[in-house]
Amino acid sequence: MAKTAKYIIIYIAMISLFTAITAQFANAETQEKPTIELHQAKLDQMLAPIALYPDSLLSHILIAATYPLEVVQAARWRQEHRNLSEQQALDLAEEQDWDPSVIALTPFTELLERMSKDLDWLQNLGDAFLTNEAQVLDSVQTLRSRAYVKGNLQDNQYQNIEQEKDKIVIHSVERETVYVPYYDTRVVYGDWWWTVNQPIYWRSPRHYAYQSGFYWSPRFHISSGFFFGGFRWSNSYVVINHDYRYRRSNHRYNYSKVREYPRWQHNSHHRRSVKYRSGHTNNHQRTITSRNYESQQNLNHRKQVISRLKNQQSDNSAPGYKSKTYGNNKHDVYTKHKTSSHSKTITAGKEQKRDNRIHKAQRSEQKIRKNERAEIKTEKVRRATSDSVRNKQVQSNRKVERMSSSKQQQRSQSSARRNTNSHSTSHSNRSKSKRVEP
């Protein structure tokens, strides 16, 4: 009885120890990472052109910025399908393996083109949103409050402004419609409070209508499947309702319902090959995926199963041989099992390979020596020829000098003769003139 009691106590102690260790690991995993403080001046500069967008559109922009490669793909795809209407583009884009927020931006051709052209701004926005989501949303609220205090953010025929405590909510007036505003960031927010980091300014397209300091896009009539994202401003995070995407009922934005949506989670699958600049590690997968992603996963699994079955059939057809592939050799080496003679042939083959390698090394050394000898001979010949050429040049130069010296002597002698002749003629002339005088 005493032994059994000891075993029971040891067993209980082991169980308690195991549960304590698992609890520590669970706490370590669930513990939140320390938030990284972002550069506030650069953050305000970056958010200035989109902070006054409607909440539904702004939530999609912030989420899509975390997947910059898909935004570029969507912009190119929209350029190829410019003839489609907003709703047709939204329905057709569902076939692509993109994030739902990227798909939701396909009706907005000019906005997608603007985002894809400024890739540095797009990636910086996505990295900032992944690094400190709460600080990004707080910055949006400060920009909105500044525009509201200056009197530039008001209700009109395009948008409604609601306030919940100290938070400002923006949504469209009409059902299932979205208007994209363009505004001068240097005017709307008043005097800019950062001297170095001035706000980013986007020029408005020409066909936009001007009213109350804003340029408004034409009406985008979109079904309720677009309005599946928003904000929970009280907690400063983005919310998503993936069930609401596929509804087709008349929709009017209701913040009291939107804020009850579940929190958005980042999905590294849609990040593609783009690296995280801020060192973000994705410990949780986003629950929302596109319709086509699951079908692609099933197809890949099916292909893998078929390839395995084919490999098994090929192995069964030749049971005595097994194929091995090596990284250095391009060809496969087949080895036969359960035979002693085969091992002897392998050793003989290895010895032959060694002998071949030795012969090759010796031949290469002989070739190198021959080449060295030939080079020495050619060097000697080159030197001899160069010496002979130099001697010839020296001799020719000496001949030229002799010829030139002899010519100079002849010239000097001729000039001396001429001088003597001229002197004698002048003397004879003087004597004749003296004789003629009376």
Our CA dihedral for 16, 22, 27, 30, rounded to 10 degrees, sits at: -150
Rg (CA), the chain: 46
User: How many other C-beta atoms are found inside a 10 Å radius of the C-beta of residue 403?
Assistant: 10
Measured in Å, how far apart are the chain's first and last C-alpha atoms? Answer: 185
Greatest mean pLDDT among 18-27, 184-193, 281-290, 403-412 lies in 184-193
Q: Note the pLDDT of residue 290.
A: 41
| 97: region left, alpha or beta (phi > 0 left; psi from -120 to 50 alpha) | beta
pLDDT of 251 above 70: no
Q: Which residue has the tokens 């699958």?
A: 269
Distance CA 304, CA 296 (A): 12
Closest CA to 130 of 291, 293, 284, 288: 284
Say which residue, 125 or 253, is predicted with more confidence. 125
Q: Which residue has the higher pLDDT, 170 or 19?
A: 170
**In whole angstroms, what is the distance from residue 37 CA to residue 132 CA?**
7
Reported pTM: 0.58
Does the structure show a pLDDT above 60 at 158?
yes
Q: How many residues does the chain have?
A: 438
Q: Tell me which amino acid residue 412 is.
A: S
The residue that leads in pLDDT, 325 or 6, is: 6
Q: At what angle do helices 40-47 and 119-131 cross, to 10 degrees?
A: 120
Residue 309 and residue 403: Cα distance in Å, rounded? Answer: 99
In sequence order, what are the beta bridge partners of 171? 160
Q: Which of these, 153, 198, 170, lies nearest to 56 by C-alpha position?
A: 170
Which pLDDT score is estimated for 326?
44
Q: Which of 57-66, 151-160, 310-319, 391-400 has the lowest mean pLDDT?
A: 310-319
- Arithmetic mean of pLDDT, 23-48: 72
Evaluate whether 96 touches 290 at the Cβ level (below 8 Å).
Answer: yes
Instruction: Please say if the pLDDT value at position 163 is more than 80.
Output: yes
Collect all residues with Cβ–Cβ distance below 8 Å to 122 and sequence separation of at least 6: 65, 68, 71, 115, 116
pLDDT of 400: 78
Per-residue pLDDT band at 300 (split at 50, 70, 90): low
State the Cα–Cα distance between residues 271 and 73, nearest whole angstrom.
12
For the residues 256-279, what does the mean pLDDT come to? 80
User: What CA–CA distances, in Å, run from 37 to 59, 125, 312, 383, 390?
Assistant: 21, 14, 56, 75, 79
pLDDT tens per residue, range 192-238: 999 999 999 998 887 788 877 899 998 888 877 777 888 999 899 99
* Candidate ranges 52-61, 169-178, 289-298, 342-351; pick with highest mean pLDDT: 52-61
pLDDT, averaged across the chain: 77
Q: What is the mean pLDDT of residues 20-35?
A: 54
